[in-house]
Amino acid sequence: MKEKNKIVVFIAVMVVLFIALFVYAKPGKTENKKLDVIENQSLDISALKASETFYDFGTISMKNGDVSKTFKVTNGANTDILIPSLTTSCMCTKAYFIESDGRKKGPFGMPGMGVVPKLNKTIKTGESADVEVVYDPNAHGPAGVGKIDRFVYLEDANGNKIQFEIKANVTP
């Protein structure tokens, strides 16, 4: 009987230690705060600027199909900026990179949902490019009805990101 009590006490102590570690370490919250600080610093450091990074489509209907919004990005640096990466936060959202001469590259999507090609485009000093964001309200089927919030990330070679955000209220 004493051996059984020792095992029970040992398990109870381990559970308490695990809970204490989880409560006091708060790995998710600490990591998210660090990432927020890093992302905010990146947005401030980057020479890539966008006059607009948020767009709300309002109420859209699944029966009307895709909606899109184009965001303009400008290189305010005194050097050219290489952009290796353009990605989205969800498979229902695609992004296209449109150069100043009108050439369009894409679609770029969500990492892990098929192959997302590298962008590897350069925005020259003082020039601009467009990022077209296309949202497909039918991508999630009937479960996709309601409010959505999606993101597109344009990342330069130094890891600095511009985050574009779209919102909508999807109806059947």
For 99-145, strand residue ranges (E) read 104-108, 121-123, 128-135
Percentage of the residues of the chain whose pLDDT score is greater than 70: 75
Q: Is residue 34's pLDDT more than 70?
A: no
Q: Would the pTM count as exceeding 0.75?
A: no
**β-strands 93-98, 128-135 pairing:** antiparallel
* pLDDT for residue 6: 72
CA distance 66 to 61: 9
Percentage of the residues of the chain whose pLDDT score is greater than 90: 63
Grade residue 24 by pLDDT with cuts at 50, 70 and 90.
Answer: low
pLDDT, tens digit, 9 for 90 and up, residues 102-146 = 899 999 999 987 778 899 999 999 999 999 999 999 999 988 899
Contacts of 56 (CB under 8 A, 6+ apart): 166, 167, 168
